[in-house]
């Protein structure tokens, strides 16, 4: 009887040790997870290699080709023929439905989103100009195009948002002109027309 009781106590001790170790493991994982949680007061702060993000969008699956042209304060220009210049970069030249189908793991998929993005990697004081060009049109109806400019650091702030209607091949419109001050902040936004396409084409000659 004494032998049986000893075996029972030994089994209970092993179970207790196992349970204690499991609880200790859960507690440790909880502490680690809690320590890795971001401070909610810093929710708007991000780290990015870009300072300004310019996003141009038009209707998904629309066949028209819209181009973005951006000029910096030194006269450098980024567009589809010059995707990287100075501190600006055209991340994606979207050509409507053209080349919207890609093969992933042997399966052809379609990307329906029509969007171009330009990043400004470092700020120079002066005026930036953002133009839209209706490069290819397939319909007679105007094409609505939205333009969004965001300053990314130290937190994301909206500099400008607007919608324009492009009316056909060759229609170039100035979406926004914004000025960066010496302190790196946006000091002004306006929309007077400034043609960039002729300058861009001449620079290629």
**SS (HEC) of 103-166:** EECCEEEECCCEEEEEEECCCCCEEEEEEEEEEECCCCCCEEEEEEEEECCCECEEEEEEEEEE
111 falls in which pLDDT band (50, 70, 90)?
low
Name the 3-class secondary structure at 26: helix
- In this prediction, residues 59-80 reach a mean pLDDT of 94
The DSSP bridge pattern shows strands 126-136 and 65-71 to be antiparallel
183 half-sphere exposure, CB direction, 13 A CA radius: 4
Sheet of 77-78: strands edge to edge?
A: 77-78, 65-71, 126-136, 172-180, 186-190
- In this prediction, residues 110-130 reach a mean pLDDT of 90
Least confident of 60-69, 156-165, 170-179, 186-195: 60-69
pLDDT of 146 reads: 98
Phi, psi of 199 (to 5 degrees): -65, -40
Q: How far is CA 118 from CA 49, 72, 115, 188, in A?
A: 13, 12, 10, 20
Distance CA 115, CA 133 (A): 13
pLDDT in tens, 34-57: 444 544 444 444 444 799 999 999
pLDDT of 105 reads: 72
- In this prediction, residues 135-142 reach a mean pLDDT of 94
pLDDT of 17 reads: 64
Give pTM, 2 decimals: 0.70
22: Cβ contacts below 8 Å, ≥ 6 apart: none
pLDDT of 165 reads: 98
pLDDT of 106 reads: 75
Distance CA 50, CA 31 (A): 34
pLDDT of 2 reads: 44
Residue 57 is classified by DSSP as E
pLDDT in tens, 142-171: 999 999 999 999 999 999 999 999 999 999
pLDDT of 12 reads: 59
Phi, psi of 6 (to 5 degrees): -65, -45
């Amino acid at each position: 009887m004494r032998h049986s009781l000893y075996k029972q106590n030994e089994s209970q001790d092993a179970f207790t040790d196992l349970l204690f170790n499991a609880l200790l493991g859960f507690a440790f994982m909880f502490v680690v997870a809690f320590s890795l949680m971001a401070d909610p007061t810093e929710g708007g702060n991000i780290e990015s290699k870009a300072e300004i993000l310019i996003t141009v969008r038009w209707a998904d699956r629309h066949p028209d080709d819209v181009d973005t042209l951006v000029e910096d304060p030194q006269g450098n220009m980024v567009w589809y023929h010059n995707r990287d210049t100075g501190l600006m970069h055209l991340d994606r030249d979207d050509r409507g439905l053209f080349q919207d189908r890609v093969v992933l793991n042997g399966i052809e998929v379609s990307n329906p989103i029509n969007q171009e993005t330009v990043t400004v990697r470092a700020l120079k004081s002066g005026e930036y100009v953002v133009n839209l060009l209706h490069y290819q049109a397939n319909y007679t109806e105007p094409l609505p195009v939205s333009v969004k400019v965001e300053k990314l650091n130290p937190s994301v702030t909206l500099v400008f948002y607007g919608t324009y209607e492009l009316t056909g091949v060759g229609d170039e419109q100035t979406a926004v002109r914004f000025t960066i001050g010496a302190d790196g902040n946006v000091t002004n936004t306006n929309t007077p027309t400034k043609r960039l396409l002729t300058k861009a084409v001449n620079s290629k000659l």
